[in-house]
Amino acid sequence: MSYLMLDIEGTTLQADEADVLQHPAVGGLILFSRNYQHRQQLNELIAAIRAVKPEIIIAVDHEGGRVQRFRDGFTQIPAMGDILPAAKDLAEAQRWAKSLGFLMATELLACDIDLSFAPVLDLNGVSEVIGTRSFSAKPDEVIALASAFIDGMAQTGMAAVGKHFPGHGSVVADTHHASAIDPRELAAISAQDMLPFKQLINEQKVQGIMPAHVIYSAVDNQPAGFSEFWLQQVLRHQLNFNGVIFSDDLGMKGAAVAGDYRARAHAALNAGCNMVLVCNDPQGARSLLNDFDWPTADNALFAALKPDPLKVMQALENEPEWQRAIAIVQQIRAA
């Protein structure tokens, strides 16, 4: 079946939250800064979650820069857009990106977290919310650096989730707070913003994709995450993506065009999303767990999101690579 990813309120798992996690439609849990005090507390929280539902996918937004939910006790990873300016050339930036992907993933896997929603494949254009979350304003540089970052993640056994398809960088509005409309024609989007997605999907480097809540008005009147055109015709059929499609948070203002939570979830699932996210609204999430029709999905899709245990073990034992990555972090911050 398709699944819901939701969140919890605090630093410990409450009894009513444990009951919700046991619902068969709950397949994922996303963590936020409010769920973190220190590493021991995080480990205890995750152990409690696993005791209720061992197979649940536990995720976090841990890109680096301003989007990193856990800080004290974790390495503060530079923004992806800071890598290339600090390097002497693209080749060095690629080596650094790979090390940072390894570092980010290793520190999360050590706490039994399955996924970081990373990397950002958007171009650094005019967007208020993307900016230096992007590797670059140039598609070829985004491809090179994101590919290397994913290689570092893959070295640890962590899957990659590219976002925000087909590209959020060329629209100013922040879809967390407002509806965003990109009026460009399909040809312009395909020739620029979509190139990193196309290339990395072609190379089979991403196991998940998260679409934007942006309306590309010359193409479809629905946000990409609610659009059969973008998710089925383009992503599945033209780009041949065969992994998991995550909705972006259905609580964001950019998703409100579809109606209430039930309407938003129906729109996302009918368009082709396999897992929908509802964050920061427990009642909104729970409204989708009773008397709601969850379509079937291939559970083999979700198995590819789980870390490879052997690679995880090897990564956690690779102290020299971790130390190299720490040195790179310091070098980028000093630039």
Supply the pLDDT for residue 188: 96
- Torsion 313-315-316-319 (CA) sign: positive
Strands 244-249 and 208-211: parallel
The alpha carbon of 248 is separated from its chain's Cα centroid by a whole number of angstroms, namely 9
pLDDT of residue 314: 97
In a 10 Å sphere around its CB, with 0-12 CB exposed, 13-18 middle and 19+ buried, how is residue 89 labelled?
exposed
pLDDT of residue 61: 98
- Asked if 4 contacts 289 with a C-beta cutoff of 8 angstroms, the reply is yes
As given in the structure block, the two tokens for residue 173 are: 């509005």
SS3 of residue 165 by DSSP: strand
Confidence at residue 175, expressed as pLDDT on a 0 to 100 scale: 65
Residue 286 annotated as binding site: no
Q: Report pLDDT for 252.
A: 77
CB 296 within 8 A of CB 1: yes
Contact between 152 and 102 under an 8 Å Cβ cutoff? The reply is: yes
Q: Using CA atoms, how far apart are residues 152 and 146, in angstroms rounded to an integer?
A: 10
Residue by residue, pLDDT tens for the chain (335 residues) are: 699 999 999 999 999 999 999 999 999 999 999 999 999 999 999 999 999 999 999 999 999 999 999 999 999 999 999 999 999 999 999 999 999 999 999 999 999 999 999 999 999 999 989 999 999 999 999 999 999 999 999 999 999 999 999 999 999 876 676 678 999 999 999 999 999 999 999 999 999 999 999 999 999 999 999 999 999 999 999 999 999 999 999 987 767 776 889 999 999 999 999 999 999 999 999 999 988 989 877 788 899 999 999 999 999 999 999 999 999 999 999 98
Residue type, 135: F
pLDDT of residue 264: 93
Structure tokens of 144?
A: 């090179």
Which is nearest to 165 in space by CA: 145, 140, 182?
A: 182
Q: How far apart are CA 123 and CA 279, in angstroms?
A: 25
Known binding residue 39? Answer is no
Instruction: Quote the tokens at residue 50.
Output: 């696993």
> Which residues, 6 or more positions from 15, have their beta carbon under 8 angstroms from its beta carbon?
none
Give the C-alpha separation, 200 to 204, whole Å: 6
pLDDT for position 173 = 73
pLDDT at residue number 157: 98
> Which of the residues are catalytic?
176, 248
Alpha-carbon gap, residue 114 to 139, rounded angstroms? 28
Q: Is 133 annotated as a binding residue?
A: yes
Are β-strands 3-6 and 62-64 bridged in parallel, bridged antiparallel, or unpaired? unpaired
pLDDT at site 1: 65
66 is in an annotated binding site: no
333 assigned to a ligand binding site: no
10 Å Cβ neighbour count for 122? 28
What pLDDT is attached to residue 254?
Answer: 66
| pLDDT at position 172 | 85
* pLDDT for 177: 67
Q: Which amino acid is present at 282?
A: P
**Strand order from edge to edge, sheet including 115-116:** 115-116, 57-60, 26-31, 3-6, 275-277, 244-249, 208-211, 161-165
